[in-house]
Structure formats: C-alpha cells, structure tokens
Amino acid sequence: MAKTDLTREIEKALRYYAPRELGGIKINVFRGRTTAFEVPVECGTNTAGMIDCVRINEYFGDKERVRVCRCHTWKRDGIRRIPINCPKGIADSEKTPELCDITSCRWNIVKELGRPKILVQCFEIKVTRADFRSKNGHNFVGNLNYYVAPAEIYDSIKDDVPEDIGIILYKTGSLRRKKDATFKSMTDEDQKWMILNVLKRTRRE
C-alpha cells in the first residue's frame, strides 16, 4: 500500500474513532464530536504548520461530590410519577431541589457533578519510521496529543515518543491505543482559536 493510501486509510479510521475515555478523561459521547483534518496550528496562516487531525469533544471537569435529591430527576414527560415525602415540605414537582443537605431523607444521595468543558485532541499520522523522524508534522498543541502509526513500526519509534504524547496503532482498518497521552492545559484564547480553525474545516458527526 502506498504511503498516501495508507494515510487515507488511517484518516478514515480516525474519523470514526470515538473512545469514551482518553487521557483518564471521560468524554461526553452524548454531545457528539467535531473532527477536522489538515488544521492550521495558527489561525489564518499555514506558516506554523498543519495538524493532521483535530477533534473537539465535551467532558465534565472540576468534579465534586455533592448531596442531591434523587427524586428531582425522576420525571417523565415533565410529570412526576411517584409521591414525595419531603422533610422540607416541598411537594410540587417543579420546586423539588436538586441540591439538598437533608442527609436523613430517603431521597438524599451523593452524586458527582462537574462543569462542561472542551477537550481538544491532536493526532499526527506517521506511516513510516522516516516519516516519524522528519522535522515536520509534530504539532502537538491540544489538551491531549497522539501519534497515530501502523502497528508494524511501533517498535522502531516507541523509544523516541515523548512521555506526554500518546500512541495509537493502526492495523487492518482499526485503531488501538497503545500509550495514553498526558492532559495539558490550554489557555482560553488558544482553545478558542483552535476551535475556530477546526470549524473552518469541519465535518460535523
């Protein structure tokens, strides 16, 4: 298979690569994802290089454990189907609090809540050892950054991959994560411009 053909096959696999967790972060798969290829590192110019593939997902960050009213979420079609014996005297379904500190109540449970955040993932495709050793195409500016390479060249490149960069291996049409990436913070400004770059080249999924 020619190099360009193999690259296209890996791009195709990346388009449908949708793990529920990356870098120890649980991705909100219900919110969809946005994937783009050949994304500029800097907005409005190609001089700083191109990223082979960038994906945008949502996840819940800044998580904390809080006490909530379990009955608060038990609705169907906006109507509560079970009676409430609330210690605070709240019986109306629209007024039942989600957060509640009455620990003795049968409806009171501990729940982990988080704030919606954006997760930017960068993928650089390397199909040969020579391709990997090239000075071009190592643009890792996302929260999570990965090399994507054929499984056949893994042994020849694994020792040269930086500790914080992950490795995803391609074999017979599928992708398998061999090494996970380390999460890196992005400034709000950098994240905003990267999202704009992706949207310019996007295919909504």
- Show the tokens assigned to 74: 């038990």
d(CA 186, CA 37): 20
* pLDDT number for residue 43: 77
User: CB neighbours (10 Å) of residue 92?
Assistant: 9
Is pLDDT of 78 > 70? no
For residues 197 and 37, is the Cβ–Cβ distance under 8 A? no
Residue type, 84: I
Q: Which of 166, 123, 158 is nearest to 23 (CA)?
A: 166
How confident is the model over 9-50, as pLDDT tens digits? 999 999 999 999 999 999 988 888 999 999 999 876 777 789
* Residue burial 135-164, b: 16+ Cβ < 10 Å; e: rest: eeeebbbbbbbbbbbbeebbeebeeebeee
How sure is the predictor about 142, in pLDDT bands with cuts at 50, 70 and 90? very high
Return the number of other C-beta atoms located less than 10 Å from residue 76's C-beta. 7
Three-state DSSP string of 34-94:
EEEEEEEEECCEEEEEEEEEEEEEEEEEEEEEEEEEHHHHCEECCEECCCCCCCCCCCCCC
pLDDT exceeds 80 at position 166: yes
